[in-house]
Each structure stands twice: as structure tokens, then as C-alpha cells.
Structure 1
Amino acid sequence: MKRLPKWRLMSLFTILALVLSGCGEPYLSALKPAGEVADMQYYLMKLSTLIMVGVILVVLIIFVLVFIRFRRKDDKIPKQVEGSHTLEIIWTAIPILLLLILAVPTVATTFKLADVSKMDSKNALVVNVRSHLYWWDFEYPKQGIVTSQELVVPTNEKVYFNLKSMDIKHAFWIPAVGGKMDTNTDNINKFWLEFDDKRANEAGNLFYGKCAELCGPSHALMDFKVKAINRDKFDSWVTAMKNVKTPEKPDSALAQQGQEIFNKSCIGCHAVTPANKMPDTARLAPNLTDFGDRSRVAGILPHTKEDLKNWIKNPEAYKPANQMTGKYGQLTDDQINAVAEYLMSLKVQQ
């Protein structure tokens, strides 16, 4: 009777585990693949799960049969049988066969995903990904542009990535499309992804990326967004970004005031032009060229002026240990309102 409460507690935890395993968002699920890499990884997950479940069922069936058929019925000691070459061969051969069934496609897929030989070709789209505490930087070296927090890619073609960290180890992961891979400080990791056009349209052309390596207090908040659009729209976006040479003067007086404050307090860390001429060490904060077109503030908050003002006023409350905290002088509410108005006006016309 003393053990009964413990069993009840264990049952409760088991039920909670089953319920919580079904929680989450569909755009963060690797079980709804939206690209070639994700399809291959999903196939391997299904194959390994099928093998494991099959082994469990066979063992369970054998256990039940033996339990029923050979249960003790009297005090007689049954005949002792030691050794069976046939059985030993069977239970040695079956695991080897199962390992081969799993290993062959796994190794083949691993080599295919690691093939970045066409990365240096003229038409290959390459993105240099830099991870920071706690934000992402995306450089398109062939196009000569840089953006932050929102990755824009074309659908139905391979996109190659160079991954590097600017501070500590992080990991680049887009659950619905494929991954993950570490970003290190001392070497560059390379891989590729392909975004399916049909499934991108079903997802509203927006996917979500995460940091998949524990990196500090705001690890869970180190998100980025991925806009997957067709090649024509992508080319239009690139052209529009290239045409942004210097920040234009805003239309409203409040936004103009915000631009002046921004140039005095924020321009030392943030860039408002997409040019990639600055060295890696100068990328202290996210590029804000197309901030007005984005879908999130700081990668996590709704893209509204009020949320932007709250972020500027107290970034530590939303992303603990972020690098923006304490980097600028205290602004008044009126100044923050003006800066927010200016930032919301930074849109790239397409």
C-alpha cells in the first residue's frame, strides 16, 4: 500500500509525457517535411522507428508465448537445455540484417547531404550564416547584400550555407526543411537545403528557424524567420535590396526625428544599408535595412510599433543577456516613439 502513491505519481508523469509530446507548432515540426533534405531525414526517422517497433513487438510476442506455454505447473524441474547453434545463428543474424537495412540508406543519405561540390559554381546560391548572441546574420556574397533575422530564399533549388559563429557555439536548424548543423568559431560548416514551392505556399511562404545548441539564458529565444519564395520574386527582392544605397529621408516629421536620434545613438552597432563591405567583427547588431517588412521584432515579438517600443525600452526583459542591453544611452519615451516610427518606415519596395 505504501508503494501505491508512487505508482500513481508515475502514471501521472507518464500521461503528462504523452500529452506534452503532442504539443508544439506545426511550423516547428520535423514530422511535416517541406523540402528534399527534410524528406530524406523523415524517411530515415520512419525507417528506424519501424525497425524498433517491429523488434519490440516480436520480443513482446515471444515473451507472452513463453510466459503462457512454459509457466510452471508443478514442482518438477524441466529438462535443462544448454546451447543451440541454430538459435544463436538466428539471433545473431537478425540484428546484423536490421543494422544493414538501417545503415545503408543512412550512410547514403549522409554522403548526399554532405555533397557541396557545386557550391562554387556560378549559378549556385550561397548564404553565409553568422550566429551571434542571440540573433542571426545572413550574407549573400554573390549578390552583395546582408540581412538579419529573416532569411530569404528561392524555392525548388538548392541553397548552400556557410555556417560560422561570432561568439560561442550555436546550431542552425529549420525543423520543417532540414538540419541541424553547428556553427563554430574556429571552422566553417557547409551544407545545403531545398525548399519545396508547393509546401512553402501551404505554409504561407514562411518557415521558422531555431538555435539548436544550448548557448545561454536566451537560447530558446534565438529564432529567425525564413521567407521561401519563387525565383522571380527572389530576384525582385535582391534587386530591391541592391537599390538601397543610403537610408532615404522618411516622409513624416516624427520618423525624421527618429532617424536623427538613431544616427546618434544606434548607428554605431546597427546598419541600415544592405552592403556587405564591413568586416565580420564590425557586425555588432542586426542589419535593419528592411526592418519595416519583417514579421517579428527581435525574432520573437509581434511586429507592431508598441512591441518595438517595449523592446527598445527594456530588451533585457525579453531576451536576458542579449548584447543590446546597456549599449546606448537612456532614451525618453518621446525619443523611443520617434525611433520606432523611423524603424517601421524602413521598407524595401518591390
Structure 2
Amino acid sequence: MWRVLPVFALLALALSGCSNSKVEMNVLDPHGSAGEKQLDLINWSFILMLAVFAVVTTIYIYVLIRYRKRKGIDRMPEQVHGNTVLEIVWTVIPIILLAILAVPTVSTTFDLSEKPKTKDAIRVVVTGHQYWWEFEYPDLGIKTAQELHIPVGRKVDLEIHGKDVLHSFWVPSLQGKTDVVPGRVNHMTLDADKPGVYQGKCAELCGAGHALMDFKVIASNDADFNKWVAEMKAPPAPVTTASEKKGEQLFQQNCMGCHAGINPNVQGPDLNKFGTRTTIAGVLPHDEQHLKQWLHNPQAVKPGALMPKINYLQPDEIQALTDYLMSRK
């Protein structure tokens, strides 16, 4: 059995690089200043550890060859146990190496913890819920969910809150992890150096739906970002068709309590501009078929989701509710 273990180990290593994701999610290929600083620290740590490994391996091979058993020699090699000089040397060397590693680590940590000082920084309040993310732009009067829109080349100051349990906010291609703790406010600064869609994850086990607590950071140029801001601040398009009007009534009867803040004990995402999003619940494609799937049984899509089933509605009612939600643009 032990002979096949290396095969399985190599297979696991190969599969770890496989992904069907079409968005950026690579710590080793950063697209923001924070990610680049962290990569520099990773590279410095790797070089240091590689040097230590080379020295230790060299000494190990030398000892194997120099003190190997030879014919005609039965005595033990000279022992160095209790040698004060050697004890001091191999105690001091690791301390020096740790200090060499600690200085850039501490410096980078404090550097990344500083809030942006530029006046054009975007401020966003991030709230982690089970199992979705809320993004509020206090200075712009915008609130959305699952998609964080940012302008390329500008600092974004994230004020991170926790609503229920521990979470961890992580955008691998832009910035490292930041804990999301209920009752505590943490800060993160990130930016993007080129337009793109960057995958975000919850990096703290937070319940049954943890693996599906995804979000996206959508970085765009200033013109596209300003266009998105204008669209989000504009009132939703009026309902026009009979199906949309019926769906509006169903929404008011079944969904308003959680999604409009009427029920203080349960808070769902703001659906005011639901039709502009690119995903449903952060994990499903944004189309009518998957929206019906989500409405019918949210727990089947995202285990532990707090949204109740509304499978008691008739098919034509589900269609009307779907038409209404998709029209929210």
C-alpha cells in the first residue's frame, strides 16, 4: 500500500492546480499593490527557507559520507554532545534567521494595515452574513450584495463587520485575508491595477454553506465605474408587463419582510437592482432558470441558507416573481 502513496500524492498535487473558474484567483499572480507586497514577502521567505534547506542538506550529505561505516573501523566518531560553542552557534543562527524574516514581515503587516490617505479613495462597508456579503458605499448612497465594484488604480478602504459568526474576507489576487468578527471593525485596503473580475471567498469555516460563500470584485475603469454608480443610484425601471406587476405584489407579500429591512431580526440582500447582477446567491448563473431553482429551494443550492423556501407558490406565480426580480435594473 505504501508504494502507491507517492502516486496519490502527485495526483493530489496535480489536481490542486485544476479549476473551472473563469475569474482571477491566484495569490502568485497579484493584480493590486497589496497583493504585490505580499508576493514580495512570500518570495523573500521562500528564498530564505531555500537557503536554509540547501545548507542543512549539504551538511547532512557531508555527514553521511564523511562518517559512513568503513571496513576496519569499529569505533564511534568523535561525539560533539555538550560542545558549548556548537550549541551557541546552532541556537544563534535560527534566531538571526527569524529576525531577518521578522523585519520585512512586521513592516509589511503595518504597511498593509494603514488606511489610504488619498482623498479619492472609495469607502465601502463590508458585512459578512451567513452565507453572503453585503457592500455599502456610504459616500455614494449605494448598497448591494455579492459584487464589489471598484475603479482601477484607486484605493478602496474596506470597513469590515460581522453580522452573525466568524468569517474571513479574502480576494486572493488582490489582498490577503482579513478576519470578520461580530462586534469588531477591521479594515482592509485594496486596489486593482487592471480591469477584470476577481474571485473572493470566505476563508473561515462558518457553517454548512461556507464553501459557497463567494463574491466577486469587479474592477473597471473610471468611466465604467461612474456609469455603474449612476445606474445604481437611479430609481429602478417601472414595472410594465402584467407578469411583472403580479410579481411585484408577490414580492411585497412574501419577500419584503427580509429584503427591505422590515423584519429587524432577519436581513436579506437588497434586491433593488437585482437585475444588474452577474450571479444568483453568489454561485449560480444569473438567468431565469437558476433564479427559479433558488426560489424553489435555497437550501438545496446553498446549505444552511436562511432564506425560506417559497415552493408553495404556483408555477405561474414563480414565473411572475422571476420576471419582476429580473426587471429590477
Common fold by TM > 0.5: yes
CA distance in 2, matches of 1:129, 1:75: 71
Q: Which runs of 5+ in 1 are unaligned?
A: 272-277
For the residue of structure 2 that corresponds to 1:19, the secondary structure is helix
| Partner of residue 7, structure 2 | 12
Distance 1:177-1:71 versus aligned 2 partners, 3 A rule: same
1:283–1:161 Cα change, 3 Å: farther
Once the 2 structures are TM-superposed, how far is the Cα of residue 139 of structure 1 from its aligned partner? 0.7
Candidates 330, 335, 344, aligned match of 2:312: 330
Change (3 A) 1:79 1:122: closer
Counterpart of 1:249 in structure 2 is 238
* Structure 1 residue corresponding to 2:40, chosen from 19, 43, 53: 43
Equivalents in 1 of 2:86, 2:171: separation in Å? 46
Distance verdict in 2 for CA 1:43–1:71, change over 3 Å: same
How does 1:86-235 map onto structure 2 within 5 Å? 87-88=86-87, 90-116=89-115, 118=117, 123-197=120-194, 200=195, 205-235=196-226
The answer to whether the Cα contact below 8 Å between 1:265 and 1:329 also exists between their aligned partners in 2 is no
How much has 1:122 moved relative to structure 2?
A: 5.4
**Which runs of 5 or more residues in structure 2 are unaligned?**
none
User: Could you tell me which amino acid in structure 1 is paired with residue 319 of structure 2?
Assistant: N
Which consecutive segments of 4 or more residues in structure 1 shift more than 6 A?
Answer: none
The one-letter amino acid paired with 2:103 is: V
Task: Give the corresponding residue for 1:28.
Answer: 25
Q: Secondary structure at the match of 1:162?
A: strand
Query: What's the offset of the Cα at 1:132?
Result: 0.8
Structure 1 stretch displaced more, 218-227 or 100-109: 100-109
Q: Corresponding residue for 2:75?
A: 77
Task: Name the counterpart of 1:306.
Answer: 289
d(CA) in 2 for partners of 1:140 and 1:287?
13
Query: What SS does the corresponding residue of 1:339 show, helix, strand or coil?
Result: helix
CA contact (8 A) 2:154 2:191 kept: yes
Query: What is the TM-score when the length of structure 2 is the normalising length?
Result: 0.91
In the superposition, relative to structure 1, how do residues 280 and 115 fare at CA in structure 2: closer, same or farther (>3 Å)? farther
CA distance in 1, matches of 2:263, 2:99: 45
Q: Percent identity?
A: 43
Alignment counterpart, residue 291 of structure 1, candidates 251, 274, 278 = 274
Preserved CA contact (<8 Å) 2:25 2:172: yes
From the superposition, tell whether residues 280 and 89 of structure 1 become closer, same or farther in structure 2 (CA, over 3 Å): farther
Distance apart, 1:15 and its partner CA: 2.1
Compared CA separation, residues 234 and 117, structure 1 to 2 (3 A) = closer
1:214 counterpart SS class: coil
